[in-house]
Structure 1
């Protein structure tokens, strides 16, 4: 049974496994939101991130990376035009890291950087009934994958998860209407960890730990397989390294998904070890992890010649069985 408590608080359901999700649901979660506006906004960002910003059309959404001069990623985010600005949204760790760099490199450009995180409430929406509730507040919904609509109620993006879903950035002055619409439809709410697990299951990377800033070339996180790198665009921060990684075959790592059929506290800070004969060696870095009920999910950066026959374990919980899951996309350079 769904439990909703007046206007001030909403109770959320818990589940043991992703397989227990209902067909229609909503997940409130945290997303940072940065607006970049001004006369030079597009040309400035075009010289900073991995996708072509100058030709980004209204209603179009892209995954993108932001790299340092050595091609290592500060962040992996979503970007889309909104009114006369460009909106960037993603995990707080990555967005804040990029915001700091934009301030530094944008000092001579005619741009305005505005952190508008507190102006929005973020929801992941899945299923026809939940989408109907959103439509009753927003007036319309985006039709195609990685497209967006911008209304008085906020921004709505149709994401590229295998089973679909919407990222809703609802303006706070419309939040009560959205919560009421979800309640009226009897939509189940799940906690943020469920959304994190769904993203991991879909192989979607983010920089969510401060120690991972500046550690990974975008291809190590599979960004090229998610249409997040335009290799033919003009110069941008770290482009030479990103290009060499592709054209000279220098990338030796990629991100892989694992499931563990138990809840493991602090799993995001552990390391993976790979079995080599009778011994174990350092095998990879956990990029993202989420635990829900009796299940943990891991997105880990490993050697890109990893196969389903390879065996891995957690360095701090070696008895936990790691089950490698198929990526829902092809790893292509």
Structure 2
């Protein structure tokens, strides 16, 4: 593991959900248990269509002052804020897109969790994998100074992305097709993105059926790329048969949605004329 570094994540931003009903409101919408959110402890979750397909991913953190902060994709934050506003009906909640006033950073390396708390920021250990470090939500333009004051060196976004890709962890709609992707094909079970004991939420029925009937036939795997990285969406073939599709990538690393048997097999897997070598990350449970 590298020494402590941080990367700014300009493609991520923040929505604030406030009001007396904020916890109950989100509890009925997203895949994780919002009652478990506490200072320094966040949950990772998804908002689904009624049919159980992916819409948005988010970290839900305690923002203080009777507010929950949703860290989510910047480009899609206004649409998510609008959707949440439509869902609130008579609930005593407020929804505010803070994309213009807050920014997001990831701190990674050995001992990142020992940084908490970080004065001037809302910070929490990444609930997906400890090795992904700490997320910090701070007023725009302040994250770099806050973290450098703690002796942490700034790294490029590509440095953090390399860690994420090697770990096999998805990054929102870069890896999950909107209104198509299933959570359990993309690691949300093992990566603590679904609470199986909470009450009902939108899209729960298909998610539960997928788990208990063992319907997962494809998974998102980390792959190494033996050549120039093909574009996201490039089809992957094994012996002339299509067995998957490339997702996000950087350099010689990428994620690929693959039939599980193809990922386990001897290969070779080919995408855009180059070979892909999949690995099964330690956290992944395969049937």
Same-fold status (TM-score > 0.5): yes
Which residue pairs with 1:106 in the alignment? 88
Task: Tell me: CA distance 1:209–1:261, structure 2 relative to 1, closer, same or farther (3 Å).
Answer: same
State the 1:331 CA deviation.
Answer: 1.9
2:121 aligned to which of 154, 171, 185 = 154
Q: Match for residue 248 of structure 2? A: 288
* CA distance in 2 between partners of 1:75 and 1:309 (Å): 35
Which of 20, 23, 39 is 1:58 aligned to?
Answer: 39
2:235 is the alignment partner of 1:300: no
2:169 paired residue number: 204
- 1:171 is displaced (CA, Å) by 2.0
Residue 245 of structure 1, CA deviation = 0.9
For the 8 Å contact 2:21–2:92, the answer to whether it is kept is yes
Match of 2:22 among 32, 35, 41: 41
Q: In 1, are the aligned partners of 2:188 and 2:194 still within 8 Å (CA)? A: yes
CA distance in structure 2 between the aligned counterparts of 1:328 and 1:99, rounded to whole angstroms: 35
Q: Tell whether 2:270 aligns with 1:313.
A: yes
The aligned counterpart of 2:107 is 125
Distance 1:23 1:308, change over 3 A: farther
Change (3 A) 1:229 1:180: closer
Out of 232, 236, 259, the position equivalent to 1:272 is 236
Residue matched to 1:326: 280
Report SS of the residue matched to 1:57: coil
What is the TM-score normalised by the length of structure 2? 0.86
1:131-146 superposed matches below 5 A: 141-142=115-116
Task: Name the SS of the counterpart of 1:243 in structure 2.
Answer: helix
Alignment of 1:240-251 (within 5 A): 240-251=205-216
User: Deviation of residue 154 (structure 1)?
Assistant: 1.2
RMSD: 2.8
TM-score (normalizing by structure 1)? 0.75
Are 1:76 and 1:94, in contact at CA under 8 Å, matched by a contact in 2?
Answer: no
For residue 71 of structure 1, the aligned residue among 40, 52, 55 is: 52
CA gap of 1:108–1:77, structure 2 versus 1, over 3 A, is same
Please give the alpha-carbon distance, in whole angstroms, between the structure 1 residues aligned to 2:175 and 2:165.
18
The SS at the match of 2:115 is: coil
Provide the C-alpha distance between the structure 2 equivalents of 1:188 and 1:261, rounded to a whole number of angstroms: 31
Aligned length: 283
Query: CA offset at residue 207 of structure 1?
Result: 2.3
1:98, distance to aligned residue in structure 2 (A): 3.4
* 1:72 to 1:281, Cα distance in 2 relative to 1, 3 A: same
**1:236 Cα offset (Å):** 0.6
Counterpart CA distance in 2 for 1:90 and 1:201 is 21
Quote the offset at 1:206 in angstroms: 2.6
Separation (CA, whole Å) in 1 of partners of 2:132 and 2:172: 22
**3-state secondary structure, aligned to 1:208:** helix
User: How far, CA to CA, are the matches of 1:172 and 1:95 in structure 2?
Assistant: 16
CA displacement at 1:239 relative to structure 2? 0.7
How do 1:229-268 and structure 2 match up within 5 A?
Answer: 229-264=194-229, 267-268=231-232
Q: Alpha carbons of 1:236 and 1:119: their partners in 2 closer, same or farther (altered >3 Å)?
A: same
Q: Is the 8 A contact 1:25 1:126 kept in 2?
A: yes
Q: For the structure 1 residues 202 and 210, does the alpha-carbon distance in structure 2 shift closer, same or farther, using more than 3 Å as the test?
A: closer
